[in-house]
Amino acid sequence: MKYIKTSKQALEIFRANEECNSTEYNIRLLTRALNLEPLNLEARFERGFYSYVQNNYKLAIADLNICSHNKFNAGFCNLCLALIYYTKREYQLAVKHFKQAGNPILFQEDFNKYGECLFEIGEYREASFYLRKYIKLFPEKHYPYYILAHSQYFMNEYMQSLQNINRAIEIDARAAHFYLDLKMEIRYALEN
């Protein structure tokens, strides 16, 4: 890497060989670019994204936060940050970054994760909204029905909750034993 004398040169090598290079080598190239020019947001964004892909969350969080604060691909940076915090089960931070990601179309495939984060912090109505949107797009997944049923249970929407827990079980009967406790609680609530 010593032969690379400028940040621009490091980025040119990165772009020319990005798909051929290993992810680790790409990160080294981008780190070299940043060592030569610490304020290079393009290099910082690319390194943040590659670090995210490599599950190097500490570096990804640092780089993506800098890019987001400087309005460089902020929507995508915030989406990556939201997914990192979701993975780390830091739901409050995940929700913050999902909201900062801006256009929800950017993360339609992750509405279930956003809904789950909202559920985990007690935002049941908003969780239900995003889980329903996800289910419309991907009706064959059982877990979003379970989280939706759970949200509805906490909002005293027992009939809808029962319908959704039954749908989750219908989609994947192998997972039914995970859902039976909630189903029993819903039935008890309906009877009382």
pLDDT in tens, 117-129: 999 999 999 999 9
Q: How many domains does the chain fold into?
A: 1
Give a yes or no: residue 113 inside a domain: no
Range of lowest pLDDT (65-69, 92-96, 179-183): 179-183
Q: What is the pLDDT of residues 133-183, one digit of tens each?
A: 999 999 999 999 999 999 999 999 999 999 999 999 999 999 888 899 999
**Would you state the pLDDT for residue 163?**
97
Instruction: Give the pLDDT of residue 106.
Output: 67
pLDDT for res 185: 94
Please report the DSSP string for 49-86 in residue order: HHHHHTT-HHHHHHHHHHHHHTTSSHHHHHHHHHHHHH
> Are the C-beta atoms of residues 186 and 153 closer than 8 Å to each other?
yes
Residue 37 clears pLDDT 80, i.e. is over it: yes
pLDDT score at 176: 86
What domain range includes position 11?
1-72
Check whether 23 has a pLDDT greater than 90: no
Tell me if 43 is assigned to some domain.
Answer: yes
Neighbours of 62 (CB within 10 A): 13
Where residue 51 sits, what CATH number does that domain have? 1.25.40
The answer to whether residue 19 is domain-embedded is: yes
Q: Is residue 106 in a domain?
A: no
**Burial tier of 1 (Cβ tally within 10 Å: 0-12, 13-18, 19+):** exposed
For residues 78-106, one letter each, b for 16 or more C-beta atoms within 10 angstroms of the residue's C-beta and e for the rest, the string is bbbbbbbbbeeeebebbbbbbeebeeeee
- pLDDT at position 105 is 67
**Residue 191 near residue 184, CB atoms below 8 Å:** no
The answer, yes or no, to whether residue 188 has pLDDT greater than 90, is: yes
- Decide if 17 is inside a domain: yes
Tokens matching residue 111:
């509405």
State the DSSP string of 135-159.
HHH-TT-SHHHHHHHHHHHHTT-HH
pLDDT of 46 strictly over 70: yes
Residue 107 has pLDDT above 80, yes or no: no
**Tokens for 53?**
């892909």
Is residue 58 predicted with pLDDT exceeding 70?
yes
